[in-house]
Structure 1
């Protein structure tokens, strides 16, 4: 009976070793599948990124002309307004200086309005 028991124990040990091998293979398979899935996801992400970058560059190049046209129009308008301001300054400079000097130099001495009421 002890030989049958030892033979049964031996069979159980072998079955346990087989089960451990199967579990180890399953773990390795799972790890490999995870690595493959990550690599595939990274490839997909990189392809998506390249597609979106190309789409952005196309959009940017298509709208770059609009921006430069708008900028040149704004620059022309600014230059025209600056020229107008410079011309206005040149035409009115003498009159403004004269008005300022008249106000500063020509003073009419008179009593303050509050002093008049108190008297």
Structure 2
């Protein structure tokens, strides 16, 4: 009977080792699947982010084009006005200087009332 008990114990130990191997393989498989799922999710997130970024850039380009045109038009108008003011200043420079000097040299003080 002792040999039979020993064989039974050995069979149980072998079954336990086999079960342990099966459990270990299942854990490894689960860990592998979790990593694969995480990597796949990261790829999907990155693709979605890139898609939305492209959509945003297209939207921004479409809606800022009008602003750029208005800004360029305003800059052209400002440059034209500045050129006009400079030209007017050059034409009347001598007269303005004479008038300023005459006002300084020919002061007509008036008493305060």
Q: 1:24 matched to which residue of 2? A: 24
Q: TM-score, normalised by structure 2?
A: 0.71
Task: Quote how far apart the aligned CAs of 1:21 are.
Answer: 1.1
**CA pair 101-21 structure 1, distance change in 2 beyond 3 A:** farther
Aligned to 2:36: 36
TM-score normalised per structure 1: 0.68
> Is the alpha carbon distance of 1:101 and 1:10 closer, same or farther for their aligned partners in structure 2, counting shifts above 3 Å?
farther
Q: How many residues align?
A: 106
**Structure 1: 5+ residue runs without aligned partners?**
107-119
Query: CA 1:81 to 1:9, structure 2 compared with 1: closer, same or farther past 3 Å?
Result: same
**Any idea what SS the aligned residue of 2:49 has?**
helix
1:22 Cα deviation from its structure 2 partner: 1.7
Unaligned runs of 5+ in 2: 106-113
- The aligned counterpart of 2:66 is 66
Kindly state the Cα deviation for residue 7 of structure 1 after the two structures are TM-superposed: 1.5
Give the structure 1 partner of residue 109 of structure 2: none
Report the aligned-residue RMSD.
Answer: 2.7
Deviations 1:19-46 (A, max 9, x none): 2112211111112211221232123113
Match of 1:14 in 2: 14
SS at match of 1:9: helix
Residue 87 (structure 1) shift? 3.1
